[in-house]
């Protein structure tokens, strides 16, 4: 009776994990006693290896592992060593989403060299406020295999960019003229990026995202159309001014001696913050 109960529990958990990961349908057969296989998977009358691709078998193995770990009822750490090897890109997001869900209740360690999978993990984590530490295994110089912390790709948000702009503003008044000019240009670089991040993430609620091809149709209803025109009226000229004054811009000859002042940048920054506050209010 105890064995039957364990098998039934595993079968339920295995089915749940297969649904999470969009795994192919297989039948479970429980057999034998101590010293023999407790369960085996079959597709019709065939072993999975005879009819399923390597990627499909990998997904089944992941479902098996996760179901087994859940049966133990403990919160022990889970370690995944390249869990998406041989998987098609359609399943990368599904595996990333499952791992993120597990990370809400477990410590999860993921080792991977798949940049698409790493990107999926990072982008999913943005919405979950999880405590995450990212390391990179260095492969240069005399030393190999050195773990370098804090190497996460930069993910700009209006709040983060605002902090960096404020640091520039603090340094401007006490800087020499030449350095001050450089700081103002760098601040306009950041203001340009701030405009993009504000429009992308807050004005348009991430319906479309820079450097990504997806459209989030479910976010359309969250756009505040009643305040959109007012915010656009401020952001458009600010963005144009920032593009004209950023460090990477080639200035026309007649503008070479026309340099923005600290006061002008402060006024632009205050307009930007006011437009954001009015839209989010």
Q: What does the pLDDT look like over 144-190, one tens digit per residue?
A: 778 887 666 667 889 999 999 999 999 999 999 999 999 999 999 99
pTM tops 0.85, yes or no:
no
On average, the pLDDT of the chain sits at: 83
| pLDDT above 60: residue 125 | no
Per-residue pLDDT tens over the stretch 40-65: 788 877 788 888 888 888 888 899 88
DSSP string, the chain: -HHHHHHHHHHHHHHHHHHHHTPPP-EEEE---TTS-SEEEEBTTB-HHHHS-HHHHHHHHHHHHHHHHHHTT----EEEESTTTT--GGGHHHHHHHHHHHTTTS-EEEE---HHHHHHHHHHHTTTT-----EEEE--SS--SEEEE--PPP---HHHHHHHHHHHHHHSTTS-HHHHHHHHHHHHHHHHHHHHHHIIIIISTTSB-TT---B-GGGGGGS-HHHHHHHHHHHHHHHHHHHHHSTT----GGGTT----HHHHHHHHHHHHHHHHHHH-
**pLDDT band per the 50, 70, 90 thresholds, residue 2:** low
**pLDDT band per the 50, 70, 90 thresholds, residue 193:** very high
């Amino acid at each position: 009776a105890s064995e039957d109960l364990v098998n039934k529990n595993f079968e339920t958990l295995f089915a749940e994990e297969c649904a999470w990961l969009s795994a192919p349908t297989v039948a479970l057969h429980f057999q034998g006693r101590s010293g023999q296989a407790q369960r085996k998977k079959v597709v019709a009358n065939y072993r999975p290896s005879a009819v399923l691709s390597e990627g499909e078998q990998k997904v089944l193995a992941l479902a098996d592992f996760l179901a087994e770990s859940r049966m133990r009822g403990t919160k022990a750490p889970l370690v995944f060593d390249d869990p998406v090897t041989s998987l098609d890109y359609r399943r990368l997001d599904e595996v990333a989403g499952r791992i993120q869900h597990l990370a809400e209740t477990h410590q999860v360690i993921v080792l991977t060299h798949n940049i698409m999978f790493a990107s999926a993990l990072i982008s999913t984590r943005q919405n979950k406020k999880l405590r995450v530490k990212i390391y990179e295994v260095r492969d240069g110089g005399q030393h190999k295999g050195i773990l370098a912390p804090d190497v996460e790709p930069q993910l700009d948000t209006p709040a983060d960019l605002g902090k960096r702009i404020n640091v520039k503003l603090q340094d401007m008044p006490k800087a020499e003229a030449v350095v001050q000019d450089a700081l103002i240009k760098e601040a306009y670089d950041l203001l340009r990026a701030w405009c993009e991040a504000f429009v992308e993430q807050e004005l348009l609620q991430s319906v479309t995202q820079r450097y990504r091809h997806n459209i989030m149709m479910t976010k359309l209803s969250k756009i505040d159309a009643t305040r959109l025109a007012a915010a656009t009226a401020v952001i458009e000229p600010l963005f144009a001014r920032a593009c004209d004054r950023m460090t990477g811009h080639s200035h026309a000859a007649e503008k070479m001696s026309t340099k923005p002042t600290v006061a002008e940048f402060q006024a632009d920054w205050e307009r930007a913050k006011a437009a954001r506050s009015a839209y989010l209010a």
